Amino acid sequence: MRAIVERVRELDGLRAFALFGILAVNVWYFADPWTLSGELSPDHRSTWDTAVRFVATTLFEGKFYLLFSFLFGYSFVLQERAAQRMNVSPVPRTLRRLAGLAVLGLAHGLLLYYGDILLTYAVLGLVLLGLRAISQRAAILTATAITVGMASLLIVVGGIVAAVNLPPDDGAVPPPDVAAITSGPGAALAANIEGYLIALPSVLFFQGPLALAMFLLGFAAARSGLLERPVSSGTLRRTAALCLPIGLLAAGGQSYLLYYADRDRFSLLTTGITTLTAPLATAGYVCVLLLLFRSAAGPALLNMLAPAGRMALTNYVGQSLVLALVFTGFGLGLTNVLAPALVLLLVVVVCGGQLILSRLWLTRFTVGPLEALLRRLTYSSRDGEPLG
């Protein structure tokens, strides 16, 4: 029992870490209304502002939704095992869970944040459910093929675009309507719905396959009992030493092309680079965090992070609510007002607040409010509690 509890706490710690990275990416879609079009605000392009965006992109962009997706795939197996222990079929309750996740995702995407990933997870969860008999080897090979295939296509096409160097079409993407985003709740809602309709195909058809690849890797890792029989510290150190420098150097090169070269010319190429190398950085981050969990300060670190990870769904949606209240017409309307350094400071403040509030909430309740809602939709009276 002790090993199981520690394993789940490690997963929760990783989820909390993923939440921090996801917020550090999503915040720019609220703070800088030019982000959706792939541009930077003309009001925040000073040398210092650009340097802050460079660092944020290098450290966070394209890495943490991969970790979240890996953990989703890992938890899928834990849910399946919990159903088997209760002698119930995992299929009906998984379908109910995915349906509930889809409804929450639609509400989140339409009302708060147009870059929602929950609906995509619900759709891909159906694919993973259909593939649940896949072998570990086939899951790893399929995940690798998806990632390398998409990255290669983007790099080839992006390389051609960069070589041809077509002149930008200044009228292709209209400038954002900052007044509409900030003038009031109704206008902010309309702007968000418009953004959702624009972003949804990209989330489904670009992030979707890459998330599915990480689902499969998490699925294979859970089937092999990766955290039930912890990887040696030496292996974690070697993996971090190999993967993290490669991943971050590639991310730094990608960010340089975006912020200090020609963003329009190299955008597609840099997306391909990120697709190929971001999993390495993600793996490196995970190894470093697992090593920290084993250090003298590890128990305290895990105690700090785990409550937020147990409430990952609530905290993910809660982040969007806070950002909407700060940056849009639902609240203060500070979009395009805060400098990038202050935006990153806000990320730290929000995450710190969620760590504290999650711990306080779980002193009175066993799960977060959205987790409780999803469980009510998922489990019948014959079902046991999920693990992980």
The Cα–Cα gap between 136 and 123 comes to: 22
Under DSSP, the state recorded for 36 is G
The Cα–Cα gap between 300 and 283 comes to: 23
- Answer with the residue of higher pLDDT: 285 or 377: 285
Reported as a single tens digit per residue, the pLDDT across 333-388 is: 999 999 999 999 999 999 999 999 999 999 999 999 999 999 988 876 455 444 44
pLDDT score at 48: 95
User: Has residue 168 got a pLDDT over 60?
Assistant: no
Please report where in the chains the tokens 């119930």 appear, as a residue.
Answer: 88
The Cα–Cα gap between 332 and 347 comes to: 16
pLDDT score at 67: 95
Of the chain, the end-to-end C-alpha distance in Å amounts to: 14
Where does the pLDDT of residue 3 fall: very low under 50, low under 70, confident under 90, or very high at 90 and above?
very low
Reported as a single tens digit per residue, the pLDDT across 30-40 is: 999 999 887 88
Please report where in the chains the tokens 């079902």 appear, as a residue.
Answer: 383
User: Has residue 102 got a pLDDT over 90?
Assistant: yes
186 sits in which H/E element? helix 185-202
Assign 253 to helix, strand or coil. helix
Average pLDDT, the chain: 90
Give the mean pLDDT of 229-233: 83
User: Has residue 70 got a pLDDT over 50?
Assistant: yes
pLDDT score at 350: 97
Give the mean pLDDT of 52-79: 94
- Name which of 82-91, 151-160, 303-312, 338-347 the model is least confident about: 82-91
User: Has residue 107 got a pLDDT over 80?
Assistant: yes
Q: How far is CA 53 from the centre of its chain?
A: 18
What would the DSSP string read from start to end of 267-283?
Answer: HHHHHHHHHHHHHHHHH
- Asked if 328 and 188 touch (Cβ cutoff 8 Å), the reply is yes
pLDDT score at 379: 78
Task: Provide the percentage of residues in the chain whose pLDDT is more than 70.
Answer: 93
Task: Provide the percentage of residues in the chain whose pLDDT is more than 90.
Answer: 71
pLDDT score at 234: 94
pLDDT score at 153: 93
pLDDT score at 310: 94
Where does the pLDDT of residue 175 fall: very low under 50, low under 70, confident under 90, or very high at 90 and above?
confident
The Cα–Cα gap between 368 and 354 comes to: 12
Buried b (16+ CB within 10 A) or exposed e, 137-169: eebbebbeebbeebbeebbeebeebbeeeeeee
The Cα–Cα gap between 66 and 63 comes to: 5
User: Has residue 143 got a pLDDT over 90?
Assistant: yes
User: Has residue 171 got a pLDDT over 70?
Assistant: no
Reported as a single tens digit per residue, the pLDDT across 321-337 is: 999 999 999 999 999 99
Where does the pLDDT of residue 178 fall: very low under 50, low under 70, confident under 90, or very high at 90 and above?
confident
- Answer with the residue of higher pLDDT: 182 or 380: 182
Could you tell me how many residues make up the chain? 388
Q: Which residues lie closer than 8 Å to 59 by C-beta, 6 or more apart?
A: 24, 248, 251
The Cα–Cα gap between 366 and 224 comes to: 29
Q: Which residues lie closer than 8 Å to 348 by C-beta, 6 or more apart?
A: none
Q: Which residues lie closer than 8 Å to 238 by C-beta, 6 or more apart?
A: none
Q: What tokens appear for 86 in the block?
A: 């209760």
Percentages helix, strand, coil for the chain, rounded to the nearest 5? 75, 0, 25
Which burial class, exposed, middle or buried, applies to 246 when counting CB atoms under 10 A from its CB (0-12, 13-18, 19+)? middle
pLDDT score at 296: 93
Reported as a single tens digit per residue, the pLDDT across 293-314 is: 999 999 999 999 999 999 999 9
The Cα–Cα gap between 371 and 26 comes to: 21
pLDDT score at 266: 86
